Amino acid sequence: MCVHTLRLRQAVVAAADWDAVVAAWQRDLGLGRPFADPGVEAFGLHNAVVPVGDAFLEVVSPLVPGDGCPAERYMAACGGDCGYMAIFQVADMDAARDHLAGLGLRTVFTADLDDVRCSHVHPADLGAAIVSFDEATPPESWRWAGPGWNDEVRTGVVAGLAGIRLTSPEPGALVGRWAAALGVEADGLVAALPDGSRVEVAEGPDERLAGIDLVAAPGTPDRELVVAGTVFRVVGRR
């Protein structure tokens, strides 16, 4: 199988109070100041994006509570704050789109800008979360984090994204769908990408993005915390 996906570049949670989520990330993970992307207002949201090394965490919240934007409906289905989206970086967006189309996966949003191109896969086609495939130009850039994100990198506690963890009543089927979309072979219930970031699936009562793993900075012990209904694990580099 041809690998076209390079890495997990951004993990996203949805929460009613994004200020509280950012405050927890800054307090417990030592992260820097967030960037608010005005473009997400088109989805009925406001957000905050913070760098974790050269990867990113994002929290989205309904811009007008009660308006029933897609993220608010998703939160309601999950019973509150929850894991929401995973953004994977690809080397060639045209090849990635051909690959997704060949699998019969629908897209619900596409963008082609001068420095980034992306496609969001219909969440019903993969399950557990919204998935976006993004090509950044140059590859080390990341438009969604704003023009000054490099100045906000703080790596004293965590230094990158190690992966995400999904649950499903049928974990084998879920990891198979995700691995196929990512263009990698699953090893049991794990789909690993070239940079070492991974998608892990465990059995659970429903399909959801249950956890986000962060790379521990040297000297930082492994630990867990719950933010936005999502279990964050600080783990050693794999």
Spatial CB neighbours of 77, under 8 Å, sequence gap ≥ 6: none
Tens digit of each residue's pLDDT (9 = 90 or more) over 136-171: 999 999 999 999 999 999 999 999 999 999 999 999
Tens digit of each residue's pLDDT (9 = 90 or more) over 77-105: 999 999 999 999 999 999 999 999 999 99
CA–CA separation, 90 and 226 (whole Å)? 29
- Amino acid 237: pLDDT: 77
Query: Residue 124 corresponds to which tokens in the numbers above?
Result: 């019903």
pLDDT over 90 percentage in the chain: 93
Using the predicted structure, report yes or no on whether residue 1 has a pLDDT greater than 90.
Answer: no
- Amino acid 4: pLDDT: 78
Using the predicted structure, report yes or no on whether residue 202 has a pLDDT greater than 80.
Answer: yes
User: Which of 214, 219, 217 lies closest to 230 in space, CA to CA?
Assistant: 214
Reported pTM: 0.96
CB 53 within 8 A of CB 215: yes
Using the predicted structure, report yes or no on whether residue 74 has a pLDDT greater than 50.
Answer: yes
The bridge status of strand 82-90 relative to strand 5-14 is antiparallel
- Amino acid 2: pLDDT: 47
Spatial CB neighbours of 230, under 8 Å, sequence gap ≥ 6: 13, 81, 82, 83, 209, 210, 211, 212
Query: Residue 233 corresponds to which tokens in the numbers above?
Result: 């694990």
CA–CA separation, 97 and 101 (whole Å)? 6
Within 81-195, where are the H helices? 93-102, 123-126, 171-182
In this structure, is the dihedral angle defined by the CA atoms of residues 120, 135, 82 and 20, taken in order, positive or negative? negative
Query: Residue 131 corresponds to which tokens in the numbers above?
Result: 């998935």
Domain spanning 5-235, CATH architecture: Roll (3.10)
CB 161 within 8 A of CB 204: no
- Amino acid 108: pLDDT: 93
The bridge status of strand 130-136 relative to strand 82-90 is parallel
Mean pLDDT (the chain, rounded): 95
CB 16 within 8 A of CB 228: no
